[in-house]
Amino acid sequence: MTAGEVTQAEKGGAEKYSRAVLAAYDTFVVKWSNTYAWRCPRERLLTHYDTHLSPRHLDIGPGTGWYLHQATYPTSAPF
């Protein structure tokens, strides 16, 4: 197996995350759960994210990358 090759186990794990599931995830976690369960709305989290974002940022965990997509990067060429 080469470094860029995707294993069957990886494909199997990823297939659970359809567009519909990811849209539901954003609605439930980013909008509802953060705002009502944790009392920390996404706007506040995005401000925190922007404050601590650097050109070399790694985001690990489940999700859609909503914060990465919405964030204001401190450089025009993050990696």
**The two three-digit tokens of residue 10, written as one number:** 């990886």
> Which pLDDT value is given to residue 44?
94
**The two three-digit tokens of residue 12, written as one number:** 């199997």
Q: Which of 1, 73, 67 is nearest to 34 (CA)?
A: 67
- pLDDT tens across the length of the chain (79 residues): 677 788 999 888 888 888 899 889 889 988 999 999 999 999 999 999 899 988 888 888 777 889 888 988 887 777 6
Spans of all domains in the chain: 16-70
d(CA 66, CA 23): 10
